[in-house]
Structure 1
Amino acid sequence: MTEPLWKPSTQRIAGARLSAFAQAMQARHSELEGSDYFALHNWSLAHPEAFWQGVWDFTGVQASSPPKAVLEHADQLPGASWFPGARLNFAENLLRYRDQRKALICLLENGRRRTYSYAELYREVAQLAAALRRMGVGPGDRVAGFMPNIAETVIAMLATTSLGALWSSCSPDFGISGVLDRFGQITAKVLFAADGYFYNGKTCDSLERVAGIVKAIDSLEHVIVVPVVNERPAIEGFAGKHYAEVLEATVTDIDFAQLPFDHPLYIMYSSGTTGVPKCIVHSAGGTLLQHLKEHQLMLDLGRQDVFFYFSTCGWMMWNWLVSGLASGATLLLYDGSPFAGQGRVLLDAIDEENITIFGTSAKFISALEKSGQRPRESHDLSSLKTILSTGSPLAHESFEYVYRDIKQDVCLSSISGGTDIISCFVAGSVTLPVYAGEIQAPGLGMAVDIWDEEGRSLRGDKGELVCTQPFPSCPLGFWNDPENKRFHEAYFARFDNVWAHGDYAEITDHGGFIIHGRSDAVLNPGGVRIGTAEIYRQVEQIEAVLDSVVIGQQWQDDLRVILFVVLREGLKLDEALQQRIRKTIRENTTARHVPEKIIQVTDIPRTISGKIVELAVRKIVHGESVKNTDALANPEALDLFRNLPELRS
């Protein structure tokens, strides 16, 4: 058994909300034996109705009408009905606090800083909700946001959902085609759009693209322009209104629409790099309850916390972060490059804003290490108690880097789920130890397992990550999929009545999880399945390599492993470096993991949320076209993989 990198103190465990919840449940339910995390998880699966009712009560869900039951059709996935009869409003639950404590701290890359108290946030949401109501927005309407991560985006979402309308957003670095592939499917009535944004030292204009979007989407009745780069943007080419001018200044209260638990709330989008993005519809109650559970019982989020997650408004982590308002935390919103300020802008924010929970990507942590930064020496970090990582598997070495060079007494929780469920299947807990390379545990109430291709549960081996019982944040379906055919094909075609998530993973001896990559990107040379994360972990150890992508190329009736690498400036991929890479992979994995070809490139294509697009690279290598390149942060990088002579022999 390996030793943990970190263990929570007895004081931290005793003071955690999870411990208080376990004690409350033990007082109610004699069948709950033990108060530790895994005892609670087992009970949550054996008694889902008692568990989810307990979450509802413990987190104080606000509803105007109580549910008549907790769960109906519990044997159906999808198809289970949660809290039928309840009527509530998502925004009302996020705006339950209306005092002078800080709700939002908003930072831009150019140094601009603003704050909103909970009282100020409520007042501005009220003013905007009244304006939207006057525009005819009501339950079921769609409101879209082409917005950076700023306060007005949060306010627009809350105003929209207070009326029972659906909110859908993407970040302003999307191209027109990428926006139309998303918003063009949902017939939005209102569009919120910023005039621009700041990124990587540049001021970027958005209004020209906004004009193109407005021209192409016939359903839009109102366009509201939010100033970011100019105090009063010049609106040309479309009929738009300035944000400040639409606010109903005299309104001080909100008439929250009371709607069923499963009323639609968000329309989220799949990455869209291999086809038109799927429009995933999430419910108000399911999103709220799942986020409250994850925030309070697993993350231990409360009013004293300053909660940050680096995200754009096109990634589900933005929605997840914003739900932290329901727990009364202070949210820190940052818009700009995470590597601004000589790579220290986010580290500086930890100290300057007293961030307690810091969320980022595996790529960011790896980049800090590659750049030689040792934050424990350059920063105080005394406020920091939890670091979260998602977006891709966090390598063993990154775990070790955090505890060696960032902070020793911190809970490092790698988490994994997705836009598909707007939450996590596997995540962390401040009451559990942290082991290198492992996600700490399955989410409470989530019946997560690893299955082989015949649907048999696996231990000590790799397989498909599945969920075998209903959960509240299971999406309602896809937009414009009336018979749920595409929805069923996406998640339930593999195993009947079971969610197959598409991750290739394993369960560890500690009850945690290791994600080895996406199932559709798994390599299969000679019939042996290899997760791409297993190769990335070894390549990241090579000091000369800054980034990489690995794919399988069809070759002579089999598949061969191809590794592309981005090297430090000035370095060339000579024979010695190739042999070093191969040796590192072979010694730490197997001979089948060793790439047959290693090719140097200058960039790796990624989605706007920072995920490597292995499938898109594979398509290009095989001479196929990649649609919807506007979903990529750097679509020009795909050209680096076309017609490579090295791949013809």
Structure 2
Amino acid sequence: MPKGIVHGHGGVVLEHLKTLTLHSDLRPGRKLFVVGSTSWVVWNMLVSGLLRGGTIVLLDGNPAHPDLDRVWRVAADEGVTVLGLGAAYVHASTRAGLTPGRDHDLTALRQVQVTGSPLSPDAYRWIYEAVGDVWLASVSGGTDIASIFLGGAPTEPVRIGRLQPPALGVAADAWDLNGQPVIGQPGELVVTAPMPSMPLYFWNDPDGSRYRDSYFSTWPGVWRHGDLVEFDSDLSSVILGRSDSTLNRHGIRLGPADIYRVVEAVPEVEEALIVGVEEGDGYYMPLFVHLRDGVDPVAATDAIKRAIRSGLSPRYLPDAIIPVSRVPHTRTGKKLEVPVKRLIQGQPLESVVDPGLVDDAAVLAEIRDSARRHHPTVTP
């Protein structure tokens, strides 16, 4: 069920002014174009562009219709300065081989801000090769705070595949299972001091128990966001996925993003989704792949295994590689690892996801049934 977050106007306005002014360099007279539905918190950030005296650009309808190039075309026609995109759209543009910097006049564009899910290293390269000499800010935030935790630092370098340091005023850290800060290894993304836009309370949660359980039950007084992150010594970071979708193969934690980076670089693969499912004393880790048209599944499976062996380690070879018609996402482009994991564990479809919030609910049933055929011990 939705959390029913109640925000405070003052805290959100302060966070948005900070983000747009100091993390996006949006100035009066410049144009802000953020591609997202009104149900995604990036819509709120777009409207807040008016607070800075900026002009906001709205897009009606499907951003990929009549073709994937539509967003880049609008950005050029309107002279957009700051462009906000979901990582899924950037990955789609990358795979399609678009060259917006060549095909359109994007000389007004100064920043491309990307959020929603981890951005692959190939997509970083594509932005600079195919879009132009812009500031790429891959950021991580949340509807919970209506703002960002990490990324968008104009004074710091952009490292391929990494977010820039934490946002101003955000005491972000990575903690291991013992609650100790870690550098150079995955940990829980935590915020150790209050932010102005943290929720006031949840709707229909009179004693605050659901609120505390959602964020503060692991470490009292410390916000645990539910993402797996790895910081480097320069405080740049990589989001490895939701911590409840973290893979734990042979006792070693790995984020799904590491698998996607390798598997989705295989030419035969359009997109991939992986989950790890605990079952008694065992662990079942299937990889679902959406293959390109006309690809031989057997040859693709062999290529995927070779890529994982060479790009990661044989220990991360999945228990099954299962072709599916497509990979399911939320309407904001996030892969549905946790709902898929819960389906495989036997929870009914209607209890793990609201069909109205996903791009194709039918493919979830397809994935569940495919997993059961490949692994008969999966909960029926």
Cα distance in structure 2, aligned partners of 1:431 and 1:402:
19
Aligned pair partner of 1:301 in 18, 21, 26: 26
Aligned pair partner of 1:602 in 317, 325, 331: 325
The residue matched to 2:153 in structure 1 has which SS? coil
* Equivalent position of 2:306 in the other structure: 583
Aligned pair partner of 1:529 in 253, 260, 275: 253
* Equivalent position of 2:233 in the other structure: 509
Aligned pair partner of 2:285 in 561, 564, 570: 561
CA shift, 1:397, in A, is 1.1
CA shift, 1:485, in A, is 0.1
CA shift, 1:341, in A, is 3.0
* Equivalent position of 2:367 in the other structure: 641
Q: Which amino acid aligns with 1:548?
A: A
* Equivalent position of 1:384 in the other structure: 109
CA shift, 1:586, in A, is 2.3
CA shift, 1:556, in A, is 6.5
Cα distance in structure 1, aligned partners of 2:155 and 2:184:
24
The residue matched to 1:565 in structure 2 has which SS? strand
1:284-332 Cα offsets, whole Å, 9 max, x none, are 0000001101110111111131101111011111011111110011101
* Equivalent position of 1:624 in the other structure: 347
Q: Please list, as runs of the form range in 1=range in 2, the aligned pairs for 1:200-239 lying within 5 A after superposition.
A: none
Q: Contact 1:525–1:558 at 8 Å: present in 2 too?
A: no
Aligned pair partner of 2:295 in 566, 571, 575: 571
CA shift, 1:419, in A, is 0.5
* Equivalent position of 2:172 in the other structure: 448
* Equivalent position of 1:343 in the other structure: 68
The residue matched to 1:340 in structure 2 has which SS? coil
Cα distance in structure 2, aligned partners of 1:593 and 1:304:
50
Cα distance in structure 2, aligned partners of 1:417 and 1:431:
20
- TM-score normalized by the length of structure 1: 0.56
Unaligned runs of 5+ in 1: 1-275
Asked whether 1:367 is paired with 2:80, we answer no
Cα distance in structure 1, aligned partners of 2:184 and 2:295:
40
1:13-41 Cα offsets, whole Å, 9 max, x none, are xxxxxxxxxxxxxxxxxxxxxxxxxxxxx
Give the CA RMSD over aligned residues: 1.4
Q: Contact 1:562–1:596 at 8 Å: present in 2 too?
A: yes
Asked whether 1:470 is paired with 2:194, we answer yes
* Equivalent position of 2:78 in the other structure: 353
Cα distance in structure 1, aligned partners of 2:336 and 2:211:
22
The residue matched to 2:211 in structure 1 has which SS? helix
Q: Which amino acid aligns with 1:299?
A: S
Q: Which amino acid aligns with 2:20?
A: H
1:354-394 Cα offsets, whole Å, 9 max, x none, are 01111111111111111121222222211111001111001
CA shift, 1:448, in A, is 0.5
The residue matched to 2:163 in structure 1 has which SS? coil
1:439-485 Cα offsets, whole Å, 9 max, x none, are 11101001001111111111111100100011101110111101100
1:92-136 Cα offsets, whole Å, 9 max, x none, are xxxxxxxxxxxxxxxxxxxxxxxxxxxxxxxxxxxxxxxxxxxxx
Cα distance in structure 2, aligned partners of 1:311 and 1:529:
32
Cα distance in structure 2, aligned partners of 1:459 and 1:447:
15
Aligned pair partner of 2:157 in 433, 444, 458: 433
Cα distance in structure 2, aligned partners of 1:426 and 1:277:
24
1:168-212 Cα offsets, whole Å, 9 max, x none, are xxxxxxxxxxxxxxxxxxxxxxxxxxxxxxxxxxxxxxxxxxxxx
Q: Contact 1:467–1:500 at 8 Å: present in 2 too?
A: yes
* Equivalent position of 1:541 in the other structure: 265
* Equivalent position of 1:277 in the other structure: 2
The residue matched to 1:615 in structure 2 has which SS? helix
Cα distance in structure 2, aligned partners of 1:351 and 1:632:
30
Cα distance in structure 2, aligned partners of 1:543 and 1:403:
21
Q: Contact 2:36–2:86 at 8 Å: present in 1 too?
A: no
Q: Contact 1:525–1:560 at 8 Å: present in 2 too?
A: no
Q: Which amino acid aligns with 2:32?
A: F
Cα distance in structure 1, aligned partners of 2:79 and 2:34:
14
Distance 1:505 1:315, change over 3 A: same
* Equivalent position of 2:220 in the other structure: 496
Q: Which amino acid aligns with 2:374?
A: E
Aligned length: 372
Q: Contact 2:137–2:151 at 8 Å: present in 1 too?
A: yes
Q: Which amino acid aligns with 2:363?
A: A
Q: Contact 1:547–1:567 at 8 Å: present in 2 too?
A: yes
Q: Which amino acid aligns with 2:290?
A: V
Q: Which amino acid aligns with 1:646?
A: H
Cα distance in structure 2, aligned partners of 1:454 and 1:623:
31
CA shift, 1:431, in A, is 2.4
Q: Please list, as runs of the form range in 1=range in 2, the aligned pairs for 1:167-316 lying within 5 A after superposition.
A: 276-316=1-41
Q: Contact 1:418–1:424 at 8 Å: present in 2 too?
A: yes
Q: Contact 1:362–1:393 at 8 Å: present in 2 too?
A: yes
Q: Which amino acid aligns with 2:12?
A: T
Q: Which amino acid aligns with 1:335?
A: D
Cα distance in structure 2, aligned partners of 1:356 and 1:430:
15
